[in-house]
């Protein structure tokens, strides 16, 4: 295929980024009616009213100007206090915390500040869609650490060690994980920390789902011995406070890292919009009770989801965090994309095929349980019907003969 | 009250249609145990009933409601309770509370017309022995009831698929 004159002018680094695996589904869904979507990567709650009201008040009072490049000092102080209270890690709000336009920007800044051409970044897989492209755009090379159902989608210290080459500079961590819902056990995380120290790796830890941990306690990477100085901790307000569209996040780390990131931030973004920062401040000041209630809701739905897949006979690992379940739909004999596409066409339930989050997500789909109980129940009824048509017996884990039968028929649409 | 009881009540308070099985799954508990807890809560009248919140306007049904501030004379031994009972026994009274402040009882009435309500106030309520005065306030519009916003424009506006 010949490229148009203008396409040739696009930087190959951008040109070569593969299109998002989610896009195709988005287009498909847009044409359909009566769809229940479990494909949404954000809370179903609207931002709590007191936060919205505080933002309106800030506008009334005329807070419409630039802030410091670093973000409002008051917000940085509140973030520092929050980190100290929750994980007992200390950051100086004056030079170790940067308020960013969501974790997305913070991730990009971290990559750009750290990477030189050819530097390798270790990234667990499956994982959020932007880690690899951000690495590539910053000139680095993503090296994936595949995880699987067998080990609860956790990476291991041995795995990290085995993937290290002379070019490895950064280890990216993303737990609780999107799309698997996996959390890391503290002991293994401590071993991974030792490997990072041993090989002098910088760790970028995206802990945006930290508050949505249902099993055990979340371990903040910076809180492990020797890790604070070599960790760039990323977090934000989107998930815990249902504030996705506000785009407020932060990075915390040593003054050199954060200073370098701020340099890029000041010349590209200048500062995070003040309106979002005012809202974030209110969330930290008065949002804890509301946040706990939301977490409680997610946890109840989590039980519903796990039980539903158990009843369907579809293997599903019990997610310990975030608001996703990651069932292994390959028992139907379908690939991730086939399953998602056929389920959408036949039963009008939308979810995201697992391979959109990396090769090792193949055979799985991501089911978001950030949806109302009524929607969840109806979606599971439809899904159970579909799975049964594909020859999976309820409450039987993988009966091989049935699977191969379904497989031979290819897509089991007219059963 | 233990933790499970509290969680069961919180769930049912927001959605009375949840089945014991669903609640059991959500709370990671045994269905028979949840059934027993609910029955026991009903027996001790901790759960008083399961009602449906209806917006009658949506089906074109005209209803008029009013808040009546009632001042009453307390009686020896029983205080406000005896007069209060004579009032709240009327089915027209939808809810009623004893208040601190300038009046004693906040009585919420519901009827088919203003005439019906004023009729009730003047012939029944005001004439009860012990009732000193009544002040009637008709409701112009209901915005929120029992924690539910009547006309909530906040539907799900999220993209159908997002990473």
Q: Residue B29: closest CA among chain A residues belongs to which residue?
A: A303
Q: Where are the beta strands (DSSP E) in chain B?
A: 64-72, 93-98, 105-111, 131-138, 144-145, 148-149
Of all residues in chain A, the percent with pLDDT exceeding 70 is 95
Are the CB atoms for B37 and B5 separated by under 8 Å?
yes
Mean pLDDT of A83-87: 97
pLDDT band at residue B159 under the 50/70/90 scheme: confident
Over residues A203-223, mean pLDDT = 97
**Mean pLDDT, residues A249-274 taken together:** 98
Q: Pairing between strand A249-252 and A97-100?
A: antiparallel
pLDDT the model gives residue B132: 97
For residue A147, the model assigns a pLDDT of 97
Task: Tell me if A373 and B162 make a contact (CB, 8 A cut-off).
Answer: no
Q: Which CATH number fits domain A10-39+290-408: 2.60.40.420, 3.90.1150.10, 2.60.120.460, 3.40.190.10?
A: 3.90.1150.10
Helix (H) or strand (E) holding B41: helix B31-43
Judging contacts by C-beta atoms under 8 Å, the chain A residues touching residue B162 are 22, 39-42
Chain B residues 28-87 within an 8 A CB cutoff of chain A? 28
pLDDT, position A19: 82
Specify the pLDDT at position A399. 42
**Location of each CATH 3.40.640.10 domain in chain A:** 49-286
Which residues sit opposite A97 in a β-bridge?
A252
Q: Which of A29, A44, A128 sits opposite B160 (nearest CB)?
A: A29
Please write the tens of the pLDDT for every residue from B27-44: 999 999 999 999 999 999
3-class SS at A338? helix
Q: How is domain B3-43 classified at the CATH fold level?
A: Arc Repressor Mutant, subunit A (1.10.10)
Residue B160: which of A20, A35, A304 has the nearest Cβ? A35
Task: Output the pLDDT for position A403.
Answer: 41
**Do B22 and A42 count as a contact with CB atoms less than 8 A apart?**
no
Read off the pLDDT band of A406 (50, 70, 90).
Answer: very low
Distance from the Cα of A94 to chain B's closest Cα (Å) equals 33
- Say whether B27 and A300 touch across the interface (CB within 8 A): yes
pLDDT in tens, B39-98: 999 999 999 999 999 999 899 998 999 999 999 999 999 999 999 999 999 999 999 999
Which chain A residues have a beta carbon less than 8 Å from that of B158? 37, 40, 42, 44
Please state whether beta strands B93-98 and A352-353 pair in parallel, antiparallel, or not at all (unpaired): unpaired
Mean pLDDT of chain A: 93
Percent of chain B with pLDDT over 70: 99
pLDDT value at A405 more than 70: no
CATH 3.90.1150.10 range(s) for chain A read 10-39+290-408
d(CA A323, CA A178): 8
Q: What is the largest CA-CA distance in chain B?
A: 69
Q: What is the pLDDT of residue A395?
A: 65
The answer on pLDDT for A29 being more than 90 is no
Q: Give the residue from chain B lying closest to A354, CA to CA.
A: B163
Is the pLDDT at A414 greater than 90, yes or no?
no
Domain over A49-286 is classified CATH 1.10.260.40: no
Average pLDDT over residues A37-66: 96
Q: Does residue B155 register a pLDDT over 90? A: no
What does the pLDDT average to over A229-240?
Answer: 98
Distance, CA of A235 to CA of A32 (rounded, Å): 35
Grade residue A20 by pLDDT with cuts at 50, 70 and 90. Answer: confident
In the predicted model, what is the mean pLDDT of residues A204-210? Answer: 98
List of chain B residues whose C-beta atoms are within 8 Å of the C-beta of residue A301:
26
pLDDT at B1: 67
Q: Which residues of A touch B25 (CB under 8 A)?
A: 303-304, 307
Domain segments of chain B as ranges = 3-43, 63-140
Nearest to B26 among A26, A44, A303 (CB): A303
pLDDT value, residue A404:
41
Cβ atoms within 10 A of the Cβ of B84, count? 21
Any idea which fold B63-140 has?
A: Alpha-Beta Plaits (3.30.70)
Please, are residues A163 and A143 in contact by the beta-carbon 8 Å criterion?
yes
pLDDT at A400: 41
B143 has a chain A CB within 8 A of its CB = no
Q: How far apart are CA A384 and CA A395, in angstroms?
A: 11
Q: How confident is the model at residue A1 (pLDDT cuts 50, 70, 90)?
A: low
């Amino acid at each position: 295929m010949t490229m148009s004159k203008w396409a040739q002018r696009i930087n190959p680094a951008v040109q070569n980024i593969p299109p998002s695996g989610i896009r195709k589904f988005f287009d498909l869904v847009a044409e359909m009616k009566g769809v229940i979507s479990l494909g949404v990567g954000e809370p179903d709650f609207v931002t709590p009213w007191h936060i919205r009201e505080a933002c309106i008040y800030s506008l009334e009072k005329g807070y419409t100007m630039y802030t410091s490049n670093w973000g409002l000092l008051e917000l940085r102080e509140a973030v520092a206090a929050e980190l100290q209270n929750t994980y007992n890690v200390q950051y100086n709000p004056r030079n170790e915390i940067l308020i960013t336009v969501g974790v997305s920007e913070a991730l990009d800044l971290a990559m750009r500040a750290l990477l030189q051409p050819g530097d390798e970044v270790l990234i667990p897989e499956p994982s959020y869609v932007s880690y690899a492209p951000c690495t590539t755009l910053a000139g680095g090379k993503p090296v994936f650490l595949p995880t699987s159902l067998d080990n609860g989608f956790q990476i291991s210290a041995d795995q990290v060690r085995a993937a290290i080459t002379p070019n490895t500079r950064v280890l990216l961590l993303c737990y609780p994980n999107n799309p698997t819902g996996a959390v890391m056990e503290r002991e293994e995380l401590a071993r991974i920390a030792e490997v990072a120290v041993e090989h002098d790796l910088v760790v970028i830890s995206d802990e945006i789902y930290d508050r949505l941990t249902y099993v055990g306690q979340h371990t903040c990477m910076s809180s492990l011995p020797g890790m604070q100085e070599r960790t760039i901790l990323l977090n934000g307000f989107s998930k815990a406070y249902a504030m996705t569209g506000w785009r407020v996040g932060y990075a915390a780390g040593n003054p050199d890292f954060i200073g370098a990131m701020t340099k890029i931030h000041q010349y590209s973004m200048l500062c995070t919009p003040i309106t979002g920062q005012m809202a974030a401040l209110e969330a930290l000041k008065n949002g804890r009770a509301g946040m706990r209630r939301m977490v409680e809701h997610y946890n109840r739905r989590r039980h519903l989801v796990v039980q539903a897949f158990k009843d369907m006979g579809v293997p599903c690992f019990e997610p310990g965090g975030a608001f996703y379940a990651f069932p292994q739909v390959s028992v139907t004999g379908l690939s991730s994309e086939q399953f998602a596409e056929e389920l959408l066409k036949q039963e009008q339930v939308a979810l995201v095929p697992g391979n959109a989050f990396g090769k090792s997500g193949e055979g799985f789909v991501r089911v978001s349980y950030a949806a109302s109980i009524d929607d969840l129940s109806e979606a599971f009824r439809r899904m159970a019907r579909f799975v049964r048509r594909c020859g999976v017996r309820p409450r039987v884990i993988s009966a091989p003969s049935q699977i191969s039968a379904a497989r031979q028929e290819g897509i089991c649409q007219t059963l | 009250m233990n933790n499970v009881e509290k969680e069961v009540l919180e769930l049912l308070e927001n959605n009375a249609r949840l089945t014991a099985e669903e609640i059991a799954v959500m709370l990671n508990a045994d269905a028979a145990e949840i059934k027993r807890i609910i029955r026991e809560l009903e027996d001790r009248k901790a759960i008083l009933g399961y009602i449906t919140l209806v917006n009658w306007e949506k089906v074109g049904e005209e209803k008029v409601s009013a808040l009546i501030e009632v001042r009453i004379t307390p009686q020896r031994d029983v205080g406000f309770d005896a007069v209060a009972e004579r009032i709240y026994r009327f089915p027209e009274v939808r809810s009623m509370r004893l208040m601190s402040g300038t009046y004693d009882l906040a009585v919420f009435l519901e009827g088919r017309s203003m005439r019906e309500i004023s009729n009730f106030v003047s012939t029944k309520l005001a004439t009860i022995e012990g009732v000193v005065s009544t002040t009637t306030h008709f409701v112009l519009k209901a915005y929120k009831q029992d924690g539910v916003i009547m006309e909530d424009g906040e539907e799900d506006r999220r993209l159908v698929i997002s990473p």
